[in-house]
Amino acid sequence: MPAVHDVPDSAALDASRSPDALVALDADRRVVGVNHEFTRLVGFDADLALGSDFCDLCSPRDADGTPLRDWPPSARLGCVRAMPSLELDITHRGGRTLKTLAAARYVRRDGELRGAVLSLRDIGQRRLETAAAQAVATVSHELRAPLTGVRGFASLLLQRGGDIDAAQRHEMLEQIVAESERMSRLVAELLDVSRLEAGRMTFRVEDVDVAAACAAAAGTRDVGVSVPPGTRVSADRDKLVRILTNLVDNAFNYGRPPVTVSAAASAGTGAVEVVVADRGTIPAEALGRVFGKFWHRDAAGAGVGLGLYLARGLAAGMGGTLSVTSGAATGTRFTLALPASA
C-alpha cells in the first residue's frame, strides 16, 4: 500500500495499480475514494460508495463476528501509523459474506487522524482456489496408480502375450478389470459430489426395509447386523445402501473389528437410527473434519476421501442426518438417522 499524506481520491487509488481493493475513508469513516478492485469486490459502483459510511456500506465484522463501528483504539494515538493486518468479514452488495485480509495506513496531519486508506484482499476466493488445486492434485494422484497398472498390464499383454501362459494372462486381465472399476468408482463419486453441490441429485424416496439394506451393505464381510424385524424408513433405497456401504468400508479400512450395524427407533423423534460401529478411535481434534472433503481417517489411507462427505450429503438429501462419536471406551460410532416409514 503506498504511503499517503492526505486522504486520496478514487483517481489516486486507481493510479497506485494495487492488486488489492482500496478504499479511502475520512475521519468519520465516510468513503471518499475507491479503486476499481474495490468496486469489483463489494459490488457497489463508485457513485454509490462515495459519501457512504463504510460501516453501513460493508458491515465489517471481526473474526468472531463482532460488528466494527469505530476506529481501533490505537488509531487515536498520533504515533501509530498503520493498523496491523487482520481478518475482516464484509458484506457484498448481493448479501453474501466476503472473508478478507485487511490492513490500513492512517492519514494524519499534525498528529491528528484525518482518515485512512484501507486495503482488502479476498482470502475466501484464494482459499477456494487453493482447495480446488488440492482437489485436482488429490484426484490426479488417485487416478495415476490404477492407470499405471492398467497401462502396464495391457502393454505387457500386447508385447508378450504369446509368451505368457493362460493363468498369468487371466490374472493380468483380472487386475485390469479391478483397476478400471476403481477408477469408475472414483469418477462416480466425483460426479455425485458435483450433483449434490449443484442441487441436481435426485432422490426416489420409498418405503425401505432397513434389515435388507444393512445386509446389502455388509455383503459377505464379517459384520454383525442387528435390526428388529419390520424396521422401515422413508428413503431412496440405493442411496441408503450406498451410505451404509461407505460407512462399513470406512470401518474395515480404518477402524478395528468387530464391525457392527444396528438399528432402532429413536423415541419421540419419528426417526430410525442406524449405527455403524467399530472398535477403532478417531482423535478428538479430528472429529470436526470427519465429513470434510478429502479427509482420511488414516493419513496413509487409500481412496480420495470423499466417502463420508458424500454419505452425509446423501443423508441430508433424504431428510436425515449423519453424525459421529468416538472414544476409547465406545470405539467409533456413525449414526444415520432417517424418517421412519408412516
Instruction: Give 242-292 as a DSSP string.
Output: HHHHHHHHHHHHHS-SPEEEEEEEETTTTEEEEEEEES----GGGGGGTTS
**H or E segment and range at residue 335:** strand 331-339
**Mean pLDDT per 10-residue section of the chain, whose length is 342 residues:** 59 80 94 93 92 94 88 85 89 91 90 91 73 65 79 88 86 89 81 83 94 95 95 95 94 93 89 96 88 70 75 93 94 96 84
Q: How far apart are CA 150 and CA 180, in angstroms?
A: 7
End-to-end Cα, the chain, rounded Å: 64
Question: Grid coordinates standing for 23?
Answer: 478504499
Q: What is the pLDDT of residue 194?
A: 82
Q: How far apart are CA 241 and CA 237, in angstroms?
A: 6
Q: How far apart are CA 183 and CA 100, in angstroms?
A: 38
Q: What is the pLDDT of residue 246?
A: 92
Kindly give the interhelix angle for 166-198 and 123-160, rounded to the nearest 10 degrees.
160
DSSP H helix total and E strand total for the chain: 9, 12
Q: What is the pLDDT of residue 132?
A: 61
Q: Where are the beta strands (DSSP E) in 157-222?
A: 206-209
Identify the residue whose cell numbers are 482500496.
22
Q: How far apart are CA 264 and CA 285, in angstroms?
A: 29
Q: 41 φ, ψ to 5°?
A: -65, -50
pTM of the model: 0.57
CB 308 within 8 A of CB 288: no
Q: What is the pLDDT of residue 302?
A: 56
CB 22 within 8 A of CB 37: yes
Question: Which strands make up the sheet holding 21-26, listed edge to edge?
Answer: 31-34, 21-26, 112-122, 97-109, 82-91
Q: How far apart are CA 204 and CA 94, in angstroms?
A: 34
Q: What is the pLDDT of residue 13?
A: 82
Q: Is 321 exposed, middle or buried (0-12, 13-18, 19+ CB in 10 A)?
A: middle
